[in-house]
Amino acid sequence: MSTSSVQPAGSAAPQPGSAAVRRSEPAGTVLVASPARSPATDHRAAVPVLDYYLIHPPRRDEPEPSRPAGLLVEEFGLGADRSAVRLDSAGWTPGVLRWHGASALSRELRVDAHLRDRVVGVSRQEAAVVYHQLAGAVLPDEETLRGYFDGGTVLPTSAPLWLDTARVTAGFAQTRTYRILFAAGPDPDSLAKLLNNAGMTVVPDLADPQARVVAVARRRVGGDAFTWKLRRIGAGAAWGLDVTADLVGGGDAAVAPMLRELTTAARLAGLIPVTIERFC
C-alpha cells in the first residue's frame, strides 16, 4: 500500500517501528513488507490466541479431499486504539524440520483467490490434530510459534476518520466504530456459517443486491454495548463487519476481545480477514 506523511490535526503519531501510512483500500490491496518487528503495542496478553489455517495442495480431479500440505499461523497486532497495525505469521510444511516466517504467504493469501480456495481456517485444537498426524509431534505452544515470526507486514493505519465528532450514543462516554475487512465476500455456505457463528440476524432485504447491510447483532458486555453489521462495501466487491462499541467509561478493555471473537467467527466460516480499521 502507498504511504502518506500527512496526518490529520490532533492525530497520534505512528507507533514506533511503523511508517505513516494511509487507510487501507478494499480487498485486493497489496500489503507492504516490514523490515523489522515493532515494539509490543498489540495487547497480546489480553488476546493471546493465534489464528490457524490448513493449507491444502492445488486441487485436482480427485473424489477424496486432499491431505493438508502445511499449516499457517497468524496474529494481528493491535495498536493502542485496538485497530490492527501489523500481521505476523509462521508456516510449516511436512518434511521441513523447522517452522519458518511466512509473511509473504500471508500477503499472497489476501490477494490470490486461487490460494484462498486451498486454505481453511481452523481452531488451535484442529490444527494440533493435523500437525500430530503430519509431523508426529505436539504443536508448539503459542509463544514458541511467535518466535518463528519473521519481519511481518505493517498494515496501513491513520488517525480515525472522525465522521461526526459529536456523535456519541446517549448514555455512554464514547462511541467507536471498527471495520473487520475481508479479502472476499462469503459464498452461501460461508454466509450461513458466519451468521450462526456471530449470532447475527438477517435483514429483510438480504436478497436485494443493492442492500448494503446484510445482517446485524447486538450484545452487552458489562456496561458496554456492541453492535456489529455484516456489510457489502461499494458494489459488493468487498465485505466487512462494522463493529460499533458504545463504551460506558474511559476504558476499552472489552473491545479487543470482542474484535477477536468476531474475527475468529468469520475466519472459521471461511473468510480471510485483511485488517481491522477504526473509523471513529
How far apart are alpha carbons 147 and 9 in whole angstroms? Answer: 38
pLDDT at 43 over 50: no
Q: CB of 175 within 8 A of CB of 255?
A: no
The mean pLDDT of 236-259, rounded to a whole number, is 93
Give the residue range(s) of CATH 3.30.310 domains in the chain. Answer: 174-278
The cell numbers describing 198, all together, are 456471530
pLDDT classification of 42: cutoffs 50, 70, 90 = very low
Stated length of the chain: 280
CATH fit for domain 174-278, picks 3.30.310, 2.60.98, 3.30.930, 1.20.120: 3.30.310
The cell numbers describing 33, all together, are 513488507
Highest mean pLDDT range out of 43-57, 130-144, 227-241? 130-144
**Helix crossing, 188-197 with 255-268: angle to 10°?**
150
User: What phi, psi does 127 have (nearest 5°)?
Assistant: -60, -40
pLDDT tens per residue across span 145-168:
999 999 899 998 776 555 555 589
How far apart are alpha carbons 115 and 55 in whole angstroms? Answer: 9
pLDDT tens per residue across span 180-213:
999 999 999 999 999 999 999 998 766 676 778 9
pTM of the complete model: 0.79
Residue tagged 485488517 (cell numbers) = 275
Count CA atoms closer than 13 A to 181's CA, side-chain side.
25
